[in-house]
Amino acid sequence: MIGAYTWSMDLNADHCYRALVARDPRFDGVFFVGVTTTGIYCRPICPARTPGRARCRFFPSAAAAEQAGLRPCLRCRPELAPGHAPVDATSRLAQAAAARIRVGALNDGGNVETLAKELGFSSRQLRRALRQTLGVSPIELAQSNRLLLAKQLLTETRLPITQVAFASGFGSIRRFNKLFRSRYRLPPHQLRRRDTGTRGEALRLTLSYRPPFEWDRLLRFLEARACPGVEYVADSWYRRTVTLGAAVGWLQVRPVAGRNLLEVELSATLVPVLPALLARLRGLLDLDARPDVIASHLQDDPRIGPSVRRYPGLRVPGAFDGFELAVRAILGQQVSVRAATTLAGRLATNFGQPCETPFAEVNRLSASAKRIAEARRDDITALGIIGSRAEAILSLARALTTGALSLEPGPDPEASVRRLCELPGIGEWTAHYIAMRAMRWPDAFPHSDLGLRQSAGESSPRRLLEMAHAWRPWRAYAAMHLWNMSYPTGLNGEHHD
């Protein structure tokens, strides 16, 4: 069946062609179709007339299609296709590597050997994993990512071409022009549109997702946990301040009516870090999820099936900043969501820097791990945070600052959970909650959570964990449905007992 397709090189051409004929949005970004007579590759939802089966070739990634000598369609715009959401162990390395490359790990002097070492593998293993999964080498994937982002910026903004090149991750204008002409058979300026998304000091772009998408429920979840001064929700917009490296600014995002797109508006000061920013935003909003695959696995479960069938597009909210989310998780231990949000606001007020934005409610940057690591225990307890949690926050900040710990998604999330649990004041609930949201592990499951146990009708964490075995590898999504069943307004959710 088509629905059984997973992220791998094993593309069944007949299944792919059926999805193409149906223009099935569930497979947008799962594969790309190349048309041999035109030399163009498209998304399976392309509005152009469907080519004959004999003229179609199918690829697991846009990069693989480009390596075959095809150029992207100007109608369906492959650069807007959502990404993959693999969960099987064999592709975790490729997933983690692709995510790091997407945010620029191979830009600005980055190399494959360093990336492989950070992921705990050899460069040979890394190259093999990407070749088997996406059909390309790490360098080829990085080049395609840069070109596709450049294509989007050329199409949707009025940024000068020089700025487009550097914002996309190219180290030189000469290299950008040469590769663009070589791959796309036209100079960059020919993609310019008159009506584009640059307005004053702000930039407008779009991000895609696979339907269905329960935006209102995701927004309510984020609203209840929005850090005062750093995040704000209003009129279907999610807004926040941003600090990435030396870049500081703001962004806001909301759905585009009638389309499977989100509109993103951001300050021009963030253009230099666009690859990392857009990747983090996709993770925060879980835009690369496969709701069809997840729902097909969970919808027949007697406990959560009704919620899954009613809300098949429920997402797992991620984190724009892993440290920010991890601190929020520590503050949420044994207290209400509202109380933890208040404490998070105090941390931002006392340790975050002011930030100018067009929105009165969003005016501070989140406290960085470096700034917290330099604080004293008394500085934190003075905010009303009890001593054990202050110690946990300090230990976390220092581990991240020294490089002893990473909260980036990686190929071995179980090992990351174990390392988190070695820090004082961080137990399984906190570690799994962090893995679920910051590390984007779809099988994380904070089974000791009081809300989850109450919703599942199980007083014992052990029995809930046994029940959850049937939900693997999507336990994080099952947790969201359990919270949604108990707290449909989104005002509560996690509560460690």
Which sequence positions are flagged as catalytic?
42, 449
Contacts 24+ apart (CB under 8 A), 162-165: 163/271, 164/188
Q: Given phi > 0 = left and psi -120 to 50 = alpha, else beta, which region is 477?
A: alpha
H or E element in which residue 323 lies: helix 322-331
Kindly list the distances between the CA atom of residue 469 and the CA atoms of 245, 363, 446, 478, in Å, as whole numbers in the listed order: 40, 43, 13, 11
256: which DSSP letter?
P
In angstroms, the CA 296 to CA 316 distance is 17
At residue 334, the 3 state secondary structure works out as coil
Residue pair 164/191 in contact (Cβ under 8 Å)? The answer is no
H helices, E strands: number in the chain:
22, 10
Q: How many residues does the chain have?
A: 497
Nearest Cα to 250, choosing from 359, 369, 370?
359
At residue 161, the 3 state secondary structure works out as helix
Query: What phi and psi, each to the nearest 5 degrees, are found at residue 468?
Result: -70, -10
Strands 71-72 and 40-42, bridge-based pairing: parallel
At residue 229, the 3 state secondary structure works out as strand
H or E element in which residue 448 lies: none
In angstroms, the CA 153 to CA 203 distance is 10
Residue pair 87/133 in contact (Cβ under 8 Å)? The answer is no
Q: How many CB atoms lie within 10 A of CB 235?
A: 5
Nearest Cα to 207, choosing from 131, 277, 297?
277
